[in-house]
Structure 1
């Protein structure tokens, strides 16, 4: 059941090149203290899209007591040269969001990052991999990640498709491994929720199943919710009919792992796939 309509505002944060980028903020209703927070990054293959894309998701998460933000980032072919610029902006956005959340009574232990497709990949990379040289992150800045239909294993693609991905993302030939989240799974990675369609033609569900398995084998908390017959970008409002289920699952995950009033629980082994959502 939804809470009273919350507050919405917009701000900017400083990109890695010094330019200003948009961040849309969605808060619980006046007087309601947020229980957790998440900053999300839109999809669009790093070349299109805007912060408005995930505004519906953030609005509904705010109605469930979560401080939510949708952040833009420089796009390749416009202000960004390559994927490194996008990742740098995602890290800056997380830093800015953490500062905003602190003002609302939430510290990093109550915060997550996430996104759709390329944005989900950015969130995972920023949380799991340090910049140059790429190494596992010891302090990711957020306590969990929620990824909607992300790419998690770049090396799973056939060589010709991989070359196209490298070219489009501005990744030097042969260096895709440095941007592939599955290669950076280590004990102590933040909890991850992935929601994915079984008929995803962009990021086949097999790669996220492998990522889930590797995370769990490393002792991490990783939940994969599969939506039967759903295709890529299944989670938006509209005829696909999965939007409400995605929001419910996201809110439940965040409030269970990160809620400010939740008693600390001892660390445990990673979870399995979870029940598929119809």
Structure 2
């Protein structure tokens, strides 16, 4: 009964009273709902609006476990939000920053160019630039540049997986895919051609030929960073087959991919399950962080 009341209050906050919710095709401001969903104790917004490039949207926020010192060397997550490449803002994802920071991670949440200002590959170039900035500067905030992983939801999951699989994006940002220790991605589109003519993906991707170069599944390789792919079986926005096909292709190529499907969860359920009050939807946060801890574990140098 108490759980029902809490969820009812959250729904009122999220869908009424001036607050907005993460919805299919767009991430909208959570405002008060974000704070309530975030479970803020134990996590601190250390930096807001740090530039990582020259563009107006080349800014990022950094969340840290409360009490983090500059001399710490904590594992790092660069979290890329969804929104169909049409909408989203770093300030709307404090709940994700808090959730991961409370688990002991430094969390970097960058903005990136969106339609209509940006199209493919602008959002990939910006995402790569944010990761390269993190690699170069995160030690100043208590993070370990040798322990960086990526995460994301929906369009952000696409961005994260593309950076890990196709080396050109990190190289273009002056870095390398070796900077990425792993990717934990939720409900991403990885194998989604043909595009619906005039649809969001069609417009966001632009007139790219061959179209296969926009698809993460085209770049599977044995030496890619390990992937953890989470997806709800009731997702009607990005079908679960995207994750299933990518995981199978990675394994066939000799790489490492973990597929986790959540029965009955929708496109939005899997990201909202990161929050305390809605964690009953599934063990998404626990399973993602279990993977990310292993992926970002300190490397042991063999004795000579």
Q: Give TM class, smaller chain.
A: 0.7 to 0.9
For residues 4-153 of structure 1, the aligned pairs below 5 Å read 5-9=42-46, 10-15=48-53, 18-19=55-56, 21-31=58-68, 33-77=72-116, 79-80=117-118, 82-104=119-141, 106-131=143-168, 139-153=177-191
Residue aligning to 1:248: 286
Residue aligning to 1:214: 249
TM-score using structure 1 length:
0.80
Q: CA RMSD in A?
A: 3.0
User: Does the CA contact (< 8 Å) of 1:117 and 1:233 recur in 2?
Assistant: no
Distance (Å, rounded) in 1 between the aligned partners of 2:283 and 2:208: 39
Residue aligning to 2:26: none
**Distance change (3 Å), C-alpha of 1:50 and 1:43:** same
Q: Deviations over 1:190-237 (max 9, x none)?
A: 011111101111221122111111112222221111110111121214
Of residues 150, 163, 183 in structure 1, which corresponds to 2:218? Answer: 183
**Distance change (3 Å), C-alpha of 1:108 and 1:189:** farther
Residue aligning to 2:32: none
Question: 3-state DSSP class of the match of 1:23?
Answer: strand
Larger Rg: 2
User: Does the CA contact (< 8 Å) of 1:62 and 1:68 recur in 2?
Assistant: yes
- Structure richer in helix, relative to its length: 2
Question: 3-state DSSP class of the match of 1:169?
Answer: helix
User: Does the CA contact (< 8 Å) of 2:80 and 2:152 recur in 1?
Assistant: yes
**Distance change (3 Å), C-alpha of 1:58 and 1:31:** closer
User: Does the CA contact (< 8 Å) of 1:166 and 1:172 recur in 2?
Assistant: no
**Distance change (3 Å), C-alpha of 1:212 and 1:170:** closer
**Distance change (3 Å), C-alpha of 1:104 and 1:220:** farther
Distance (Å, rounded) in 1 between the aligned partners of 2:258 and 2:79: 18
**Distance change (3 Å), C-alpha of 1:49 and 1:188:** same
User: Does the CA contact (< 8 Å) of 1:3 and 1:64 recur in 2?
Assistant: no
Distance (Å, rounded) in 1 between the aligned partners of 2:263 and 2:153: 18
Of residues 259, 266, 286 in structure 2, which corresponds to 1:231? Answer: 266
User: Does the CA contact (< 8 Å) of 1:203 and 1:232 recur in 2?
Assistant: yes
In structure 2, stretches of 5+ residues that fail to align are: 1-38
User: Does the CA contact (< 8 Å) of 1:3 and 1:65 recur in 2?
Assistant: no
Of residues 238, 248, 253 in structure 2, which corresponds to 1:203? Answer: 238
Cα shift at 1:242 = 5.1
TM-score using structure 2 length:
0.74
**Distance change (3 Å), C-alpha of 1:241 and 1:67:** closer
In structure 1, stretches of 5+ residues that fail to align are: 266-278
User: Does the CA contact (< 8 Å) of 2:230 and 2:243 recur in 1?
Assistant: no
